Amino acid sequence: MSTCLIKTLLVFTIWPGVPWLIGQQSNSALYRVDVNLVVLTFSVTDAKGNSVHGLQASDIRIFEDNIPQEIASFAEGSSPLDRVLPYGPSSGGTNLFILFDTSNRMYHSIPYVCDSIAELVRHLHPADAVAIYTFSRNLCRAVPLTKDHLIALTGLDQNVAVGDDTALFNCLLLTLRDAAKVRGRKAVIVFSNGPDNASILSPEDVGRVAEDEGIPVYVISTLDERQDSLLANALRRLTGRTGGKLYLARNWQAQAQAFTAIHDDISSSYTAYYYPSPNPNQSFRNIKVQIVCPGGKGYTVRARSGYQPLKPSARETN
């Protein structure tokens, strides 16, 4: 249909992941508006630091730049999503990317780390998908993202220590880029044995990508904070801004406990999906989560602090 045959044209365009995009009335122009689904994963703990279970979408208030948002879908852990709005996503599960150090410093530690990762994989929800990545100077995608946890366990057993250099932040960025291509709830778990001596990227730049993409990053590191406080603080800032957490674990027992704690945190965290309300701010948008159920004022929420929205599409003319 040509616009020259009618005086007014109202266009409805459906894009993947978007409930609707409405064109404005015009004889010669088509206006297109982008609406990007926001996936917000957050953890809630009580005054004793214990995870709070059983919250519903009605117990949550989300604000962007103090503008209230309407939740489209909601879930605890990897459970099926509760579709609050008719056009909200409905598939549950978590896409988990595990990235661990295979530099030569890991020569004696790999069996213990692999055992801890295997234990985590064995306890994943059936709806969860997992990818196994390794790194030294370069990234190796040992097992692509799969819901077949047996395949992940088999691929995990084939890793050996290689290479002297470690490019943690370079390889973490590549992992985040892979995770960003996958829809739905995501998280990255990193095991790092020592300093980063080969990256050209800063932890601040990598953290910004994770924050904008809404991907919590958990890091288990063997660092001694007294000897390398700069890197420890950088990792703490990176994980904190994404809604994840840093675990400093010097021995294999502490590392096993850290993997268990991360699994428990991911399993008990919440995910809210929403389409942002109109907001003229095209720079960084601050996110705030409030718990409004009885006793909620005593709860602590851990979530990313905000994100940089994608630039809106330019106006298209015929």
Residue 284: name the closest of 234, 214, 212 by CA. 212
Among 29-38, 102-111, 155-164, 277-286, which stretch is predicted with the lowest mean pLDDT? 29-38
| pLDDT of 12 above 50 | no
The span from the CA of 202 to the CA of 182, in Å, is 24
Backbone angles phi, psi at 301, to 5 degrees: -110, 130
What gap in Å lies between CA 166 and CA 138, rounded to an integer?
A: 8
d(CA 65, CA 160): 47
Q: Strands 60-64 and 285-291: what pairing? A: antiparallel
Domain 36-310 is of which CATH architecture? 3-Layer(aba) Sandwich (3.40)
| Interval 37-48 mean pLDDT | 96
| pTM attached to this predicted model | 0.86
CA distance 23 to 317: 12
Spatial distance between the Cα atoms of 101 and 92, rounded to a whole number of angstroms: 29
Which range (136-150, 241-255, 260-274, 301-315) has the least confidence? Answer: 301-315
Low-confidence winner among 32-36, 59-63, 136-140 (lowest mean pLDDT): 32-36
Do residues 146 and 153 make contact, with C-beta atoms less than 8 angstroms apart? no
- In the chain, list all ranges with CATH 3.40.50.410: 36-310
Q: pLDDT per residue over 78-131, tens digit each?
A: 999 999 999 888 888 999 999 999 988 887 788 999 999 999 999 999 999 999
pLDDT in tens, 51-79: 999 999 999 999 999 999 999 999 999 99
**Quick check: helix, strand or coil at residue 251?**
coil
Region of poorest pLDDT, from 36-50, 272-286, 302-316: 302-316
d(CA 141, CA 131): 8
How many Å apart are CA 243 and CA 238, to the nearest integer?
A: 9
pLDDT at 11: 34
User: Quick one: pLDDT at residue 21?
Assistant: 37
- The answer on pLDDT for 260 being more than 80 is yes
The whole-number pLDDT of residue 312 equals 59
* Mean pLDDT value across residues 266-280: 96
Position 310 scores a pLDDT of: 81
Structure tokens that stand for 91 in this block: 């598939």
Average pLDDT over residues 263-287: 96
Give tens-digit pLDDT for 171-203: 999 999 999 999 999 999 999 988 899 999 999
d(CA 172, CA 164): 18
Question: What DSSP line would sit under 36-72, residue for residue?
Answer: --EEEEEEEE-TTSPBP----GGGEEEEETTEEE-EE
Q: What pLDDT was estimated at residue 159?
A: 80
Rg (Cα) of the chain, in Å, rounded?
22
Please check whether residue 132 is in contact with residue 139, taking contact to mean a CB–CB distance below 8 angstroms.
no
Higher pLDDT, 34 or 249: 249
- Select from 130, 111, 120, 135 the least CA-distant residue to 194: 135
Pick the most confident of 33-37, 195-199, 261-265: 261-265
Asked whether the CA dihedral 83, 85, 87, 89 is positive or negative, the reply is negative
Confidence label for 163 from pLDDT (cuts 50, 70 and 90): confident
* Residue 38 clears pLDDT 70, i.e. is over it: yes
Above 70 in pLDDT, residue 221? yes
Q: pLDDT at residue 32 above 80?
A: no
Looking at every residue in the chain, the average pLDDT score rounds to 87
CA distance 266 to 128: 11
